[in-house]
């Protein structure tokens, strides 16, 4: 399907052509006919599938080709994060260029009075995060009585961030004869489906992704690591030995994102940290510079995992494993966009084995291990850490058992225990005395 095959407003079609949008993606091929027919839509699709265009093209076309009923906002787009809202705004502004349509962006963390002034002008399209929109709605700054289209993007993320109730309240106060388009990365979550049932009226359901699978054009690998310092050495090796024009490294905390960015800068890499505690303006600027190749290494927390729509990311590195399967899929999905090849490398230590196992079980495959010469982890095959005398004893034990079956008592590994210091002995006696309460010691611990 090409956009020229659709009965679009001439100005909208011209804007699409100027932006290089010609052939529809799978998400657009499935979603556009439903949206143009005026039906509600429930779609499971990944970020990067072209779903933003799939809902904004019919929205803009409808507003350009039909008259408004009454005097109120006609289309409301709700997104879970400010970053995603900015991306939707950027695309929408390109679609409405040269038309009479007015677009407003309503986000938390930005000037409230300025937003109230924008809303008094009754923009045709509002792109908003639920919390801030609810604030304005309670104050009577916006009217959705005649709303024609409600679009909910990344509903699963809405649920994770606690916006589910806000979204339902916004929908309840809006025109009940509206059309609703509802998008989620997964439809496996019962609460997501419950929210969809509340918002939608006899929707067409479209599932474009296998919610537990990574795209086949993304090569996934695992590097087994001992600890954070070992991970840092592996990361430096990867940056030096695996060429990539743009990388995204994920961590699980603000502190580590900043620490890792400074560490990589000390190794002559242009690395910048992105996390949720940065001011919104700074986050916007970092995202803009990264998109425009001012630097090529972004160290991000989960704030960037959802909705970060940036082309050209060759490699995703999970310095910390994602805490659940959905987050893992969203992270890895930042690479391999539009069918291009991508790589996702997971640095996994012993405490993260369970998370890795969950990913492998969901995909029904054992992810290949990448071995870095000279930087191998001191781990057994099963992930149990061993060092020094214990490692040697275990190796000897394994060799004997493999050579002649059941081991004798003499074969079993013997590891000498280091003598306890006088301080350790004294501490043990003090602890025992406190436990027994009468100053006596348990059997086997003689007073001296």
Q: Is 348 left (phi over 0), alpha (psi -120 to 50) or beta?
A: beta
Do both 232 and 264 map to the same domain?
yes
Q: Are residues 60 and 166 in the same domain?
A: yes
Cα gap 434→399, rounded to integer Å: 46
196 and 92 together in one domain: yes
16 in any annotated domain: yes
Residues 304, 426 within the same domain: no
- Domain termination residue (choose one: 179, 207, 235): 207
Q: Is residue 396 part of a domain?
A: no
Task: Tell whether 24 is covered by a domain.
Answer: yes
DSSP β-ladder status, 179-184 and 103-106: unpaired
Is residue 250 assigned to a domain? Answer: yes
CA–CA dist 383, 350 (Å, integer): 6
| pLDDT for the residue 394 | 56
Let me know whether 146 and 263 are in one domain: no
Overall number of domains in the chain: 3
Statement to judge: residues 43 and 162 lie in one domain: yes
CATH at residue 359:
3.40.50.300
**149 and 10 share one domain:** yes
Does residue 183 form part of some domain? yes
- Terminal CA-CA length for the chain: 89
CA angle 30, 218, 43 (to 5 degrees): 25
351/445 same-domain check: no
174 occurs within a structural domain: yes
Chain mean position to CA 269: 24
pLDDT for the residue 227 = 93
Domain range for 428 is: 413-448
**Which has the closest alpha carbon to 360: 248, 210, 213?**
213
The predicted structure's pLDDT at residue 432? 42
Among candidate residues 207, 226, 259, the one where a domain is terminated? 207
Q: Are residues 200 and 222 in the same domain?
A: no
Residues 183 and 284 in one domain: no
Whether residue 276 lies inside any domain: the answer is yes
> Is-contact 348 222, C-beta < 8 A?
yes
Alpha carbon distance 340, 338 (integer Å): 6
What distance in Å separates the CA atoms of residue 349 and residue 365, rounded to the nearest whole number?
A: 19
User: Both 53 and 184 in a single domain?
Assistant: yes
Specify if 354 maps to a domain: yes
| CA nearest to 170, candidates 139, 141, 210, 138 | 138
Flag residues of the chain having pLDDT under 50: 380-391, 415, 431-448
Residues 226 and 146 grouped into a single domain: no
| Domain end call among 295, 329, 363 | 363
């Amino acid at each position: 399907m090409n956009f020229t095959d659709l009965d679009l407003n001439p100005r909208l079609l011209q804007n699409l052509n100027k932006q290089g949008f010609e052939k529809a993606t799978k998400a657009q091929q499935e979603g556009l006919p439903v949206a143009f027919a005026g039906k509600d839509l429930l779609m499971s699709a990944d970020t990067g599938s072209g779903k933003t265009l799939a809902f904004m093209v019919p929205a803009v076309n409808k507003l350009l080709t039909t008259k408004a009923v009454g005097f109120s906002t006609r289309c409301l787009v709700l997104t879970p994060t400010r970053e995603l809202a900015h991306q939707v705004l950027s695309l929408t502004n390109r679609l409405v260029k040269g038309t009479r349509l007015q677009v407003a962006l309503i986000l938390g963390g930005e000037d409230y009075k300025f937003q109230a002034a924008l809303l008094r002008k009754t923009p045709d399209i509002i792109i908003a995060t639920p919390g801030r929109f609810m604030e304005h709605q309670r104050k009577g700054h916006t009217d959705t009585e005649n709303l024609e289209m409600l679009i909910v993007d990344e509903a699963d993320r809405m649920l994770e961030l606690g916006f589910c109730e806000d979204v339902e309240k916004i929908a309840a106060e809006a025109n009940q004869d509206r059309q609703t388009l509802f998008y989620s990365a997964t439809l496996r979550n019962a609460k997501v489906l419950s929210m969809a049932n509340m918002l939608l009226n006899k929707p067409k359901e479209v599932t474009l992704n296998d919610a537990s699978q990574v795209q086949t054009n993304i090569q996934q690998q695992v590097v087994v690591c001992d600890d954070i310092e070992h991970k840092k050495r592996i990361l430096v090796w990867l940056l030096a030995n695996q060429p990539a024009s743009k990388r995204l490294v994920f961590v699980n905390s603000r502190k580590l994102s900043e620490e890792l960015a400074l560490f990589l800068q000390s190794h002559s890499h242009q690395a910048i940290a992105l996390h949720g505690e940065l001011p919104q303006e700074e986050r916007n600027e970092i995202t803009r510079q990264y998109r425009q190749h001012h630097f090529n290494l972004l160290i991000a927390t989960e704030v960037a995992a959802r909705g970060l729509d940036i082309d050209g990311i060759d490699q995703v590195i999970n310095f910390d494993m994602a805490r659940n399967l959905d987050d893992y899929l969203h992270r890895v999905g930042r690479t391999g966009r539009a069918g291009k090849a991508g790589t996702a490398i997971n640095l996994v230590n012993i405490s993260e084995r369970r998370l890795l196992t969950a990913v492998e079980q969901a995909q029904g495959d054992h992810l290949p291990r990448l071995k870095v010469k000279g930087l191998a982890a001191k781990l057994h095959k099963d992930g149990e850490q061993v060092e020094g005398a214990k490692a040697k004893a275990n190796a000897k034990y394994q060799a004997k058992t493999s050579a002649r079956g059941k081991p004798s008592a003499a074969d079993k590994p013997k590891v000498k225990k280091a003598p306890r210091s006088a301080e350790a002995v004294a501490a043990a006696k003090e602890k025992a005395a406190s436990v027994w309460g009468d100053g006596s010691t348990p059997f086997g611990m003689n007073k001296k």
